[in-house]
Structure formats: structure tokens, C-alpha cells
Amino acid sequence: MMAIKLKSLREQVIVVTGATSGNGLAIVEAAIRQGAAVVAVARNAEALEELHARLAGVGGRIAICAADVSDPAAVEDVATVASEKFGGFDSWVNNAGIGTYGTLEQVPLADHRRVFDVNYFGVLHGSLVAARHLRGRGGGAIINVGSILGDRSIVQQGPYSATKHAVQALTDTLRMELEREKAGISVTLIKPGPIDTPFPEHARNFMDEPPRLPPPLYTPEVVADAVLFACANPRRTLYAGGGGLLSSMLAQAAPRLTDAIMELAGTQAQQKPGDPGVAARRDNLYEPREDALRGSQDVHARQSSIALQLQKAASPLLTAAIVGGGALAAILLRKGTR
């Protein structure tokens, strides 16, 4: 396997999808602070203009591109904007995502497809465009923002969980193909746990109560930290938030116990009676709604993750060994408890 060399952040141009809200917005702001140039991509053209004015006003190097990542032609346009404004890009972050709350039967088939169009096909479109461009530059990084729900599904979020399982498979396949051709492109999957973003307000809701993310929550800056580290340091997987990592390992070790816990308390843990959040943010499944960095519900979010810092400090091989060793231990424990 060839060694992959990535530029420092201050030398990079970074494409970020889903750039006007939550994790994407945190990634853009942190990248600009650290000296990178950014191509910010989102459906919300008004929010993009405001973001550009704010960050360019303080000297940030930023270009914007209004695009729905479910449209492959629109994603091609992103690469064109990056080439015209900055001469290309060095890292591409597939972050855009949407979701629903409700049972598989409650969510209409068209909404299932819409979640896949954005969360899976959007990542596919971005990955293919990025890989083609980065080959011509001699390498770079592709970072896909998945979820711990790619390891373990959760009730009331079946379509979203399914897309994150698909993104896991897509990312692994892309990495193998690029490694086989010695393309010099790093492919990283970021797996956030629950993050305090507007996601519960943006998601289309079929439950009887307002949705929320189950604790413990982390701030979007934790995800930004993981993503930007991966832009400059080749890693296979990074978990953003120790709570999510532990939940994932528990699910691998004791899947039936996790099923039982989910069936008993999973729905209640994802509901916030009397606290629906800002009405202007509700339901962005097909059209953009009000965007923001954080959710507006009354929650507590941790500002750092010790688990992420340990992953960053470890070498790539050690990190893989730690995560892989945890998974193996979980499998052995699972067999031992049958």
C-alpha cells in the first residue's frame, strides 16, 4: 500500500457539502479559521450568501455553490466552481444529510427514496467527482460523514440508519478501489454520535411528539475537529464522540440486549414533548428551511471528546487496531453470551 501524503490545512482548498447548517457549518468555519480555502455547498442559497458575506468579510477565502447533492449534474458544477475560484480542491467532504422520524410503515415510500437520494446517492455523486478530480492532482482526501447508526440501527430512524449502513459500504468499496490503483487518495469515514445540530427540527416527523437526539450530545465542533484532522492526516475511520463509540461497541457485543433496550426506551429517548424547536426549521426533506449551527431545543452538549483526541493521537495502524480490537472483543463476547 502506497503512503498517502496530504497537504497541511492552510495549503488546502476544501469542498464541504451541507455547509450552511450543523456539522457542515462548523466544518466551514473551523477550516477558514485554520487558513484553508473553502467551497461551501448547500441547497439554501440565501444562507450561502450570508455565510460568504460573513466569512469573506473577515478575510476568509470562500466560494459558494448552491446545489442539491442528489443531482449529479449539480455536483459536477461544484468541481467547476472550485476550479474557477481556486484552481481545484484538495479535500472533498460529503456531509449533506436529511432524515425522517417514524416507523418504516409511517414513512411514505417517496420519503424513503428521498433520504437515499441525498444521504447515499449524494455521497456517491460527490465521491466519484472528487476521485476523478483528485486523480489529476496526484491525490488528496475524501471524507464521508456517516454515523454510528451505520453500525447499529435505531427505532424511528429506519431510512436514515439504512443510508448510513450504505455509506459505510460505499466508503469501504471506494477506499479499496482507490488503493488498488495507487491513486494517492485518502478515504475516511467519520462516525458521529448524537450531535447538537438542527437535525431533529429539520427532519420530517411522523411521531406524536417532537423529535430529539438521545444523549449524550456533542457540539458540531467535535465533528469539525474530526473531519479537518482527516483532511490532513490519512485515517480509515474516526468516531466523533465517545458516547457513540461505546453505544456502537455495545450493539456489537450484545445485539439482542440492544434490541430490547431500543424497543423499550428508544422511542421515548428520541422525543422532546413540549419542545419542538424553531418552527421555521421544521421539515427540510424536499426544500431548505432555516439553517443554524446548533439546535434550538433545550439540551446539554459536550464541547470535546476524549475518545476523538485519543484516536487522533494514535498512529493510523494503532487506531485501526483499537477500533478493530474493540469490534473483535465485542464479537467474542457476543459468542460467549449466546
101 catalytic residue (yes or no): no
Question: In what helix (H) or strand (E) does residue 48 lie, and over which residues does it extend?
Answer: helix 45-56
Give CA separation, 285 vs 68, 126, 139, 193, 215, in Å.
Answer: 11, 19, 34, 21, 24
**For the stretch 16-37, what's the b/e string if a residue is b when 16 or more beta carbons lie within 10 angstroms of its beta carbon?**
bbbbbbbbbbbbbbbbbebebb
Q: In the chain, helix, strand, coil percent, each to 5? A: 50, 15, 35
Asked if 88 and 25 count as a contact pair (C-beta separation under 8 A), the reply is no
Grid cell for residue 65: 455553490
186 within 8 A of 93, measured Cβ to Cβ = no
Annotated catalytic residue within 101, 120, 160, 218: 160
Is residue 281 within 8 A of residue 289, CB to CB? The reply is yes
Residue 128 CB neighbour total at 10 angstroms = 15
Residues 265 and 127: their CA atoms lie apart, in Å, by: 36
Strand partners, 211: 271
User: Which grid cell sits at 181?
Assistant: 490503483
**C-alpha radius of gyration, the chain, whole number:** 19
Task: Just list the catalytic residues.
Answer: 160
